[in-house]
Chains A and B, each alone.
Chain A
Amino acid sequence: EPEVTQTPSHQVTQMGQEVILRCVPISNHLYFYWYRQILGQKVEFLVSFYNNEISEKSEIFDDQFSVERPDGSNFTLKIRSTKLEDSAMYFCASSEGAANTGELFFGEGSRLTVL
């Protein structure tokens, strides 16, 4: 069964360092997303990406965040200068159509710990 894969599964970094989280969405999907979940809290939308550009972003997704689809398969989330409060599980997701039309398929997540 096709799945969304994410790397790394866990990353520990020092405050102020740059982090890149990688995702390989399901191959025939056109819409890509990043969500985060702080431990014990709800899943929060960060950004959606379609046709090589950001289609929606939340207030959380400020200038320190960026996304890229550098090639035909990877979808990355970069955090330029990490803060303690960026510690969370980051989920990548993809969907065949727009989010309001059907299922989001999530990866297993990348746990980011900022020290």
Chain B
Amino acid sequence: RKEVEQDPGPFNVPEGATVAFNCTYSNSASQSFFWYRQDCRKEPKLLMSVYSSGNEDGRFTAQLNRASQYISLLIRDSKLSDSATYLCVVIYNTNAGKSTFGDGTTLTVKP
């Protein structure tokens, strides 16, 4: 089983749609969770951290379910500029230097 597993995608949605991505992790000792965004052939950039209580940043909402070991990202009112690959990142507390990335889920928003 992969350490971090994401929805395989790709997701193709019209502008204005709401889309949700899921990510599961295998190690219950996981401590910190993030969503990064990667545009084609570019470096990953932090989209948002994921907190136990859930957090929202504009059109983006991240949720964490420790009992089921998954995190989610919800994007409301999709824009063309949201087209990218979304990377789920998990860090185990004992490996504070190592971030484990999921394979990524690709989103294409169409006019």
The interface residues of chain A lying within 8 Å CB-to-CB of B104 are 42
A18 beta carbon closer than 8 Å to chain B: no
The interface residues of chain B lying within 8 Å CB-to-CB of A25 are none
The interface residues of chain A lying within 8 Å CB-to-CB of B43 are 91, 106-109
The interface residues of chain B lying within 8 Å CB-to-CB of A33 are 97, 99
A100 touching B93 by the CB < 8 A rule? yes
Q: State the interface size on chain B (CB cutoff 8 A).
A: 24
Q: How far is the CB of B92 from chain A (nearest CB, A)?
A: 8
> In the complex, how many residue pairs between chain A and chain B have their CB atoms under 8 Å apart?
61
B96 touching A104 by the CB < 8 A rule? no
- Sampled A-B contacts (27; CB under 8 Å): A31-B97, A33-B97, A41-B103, A42-B101, A42-B102, A43-B38, A43-B44, A43-B87, A43-B101, A44-B101, A45-B98, A45-B101, A55-B97, A56-B95, A56-B96, A56-B97, A56-B98, A91-B43, A98-B97, A99-B91, A99-B98, A99-B99, A100-B32, A100-B96, A103-B49, A107-B43, A109-B43
Of the four ranges (under 10, 10 to 19, 20 to 34, 35 or more), the interface on chain A belongs to: 20 to 34
B97 touching A99 by the CB < 8 A rule? yes
Query: Which A residues lie at the B interface, using CB under 8 A?
Result: 31, 33, 35, 41-45, 48, 50, 55-56, 58, 89, 91, 98-104, 106-109
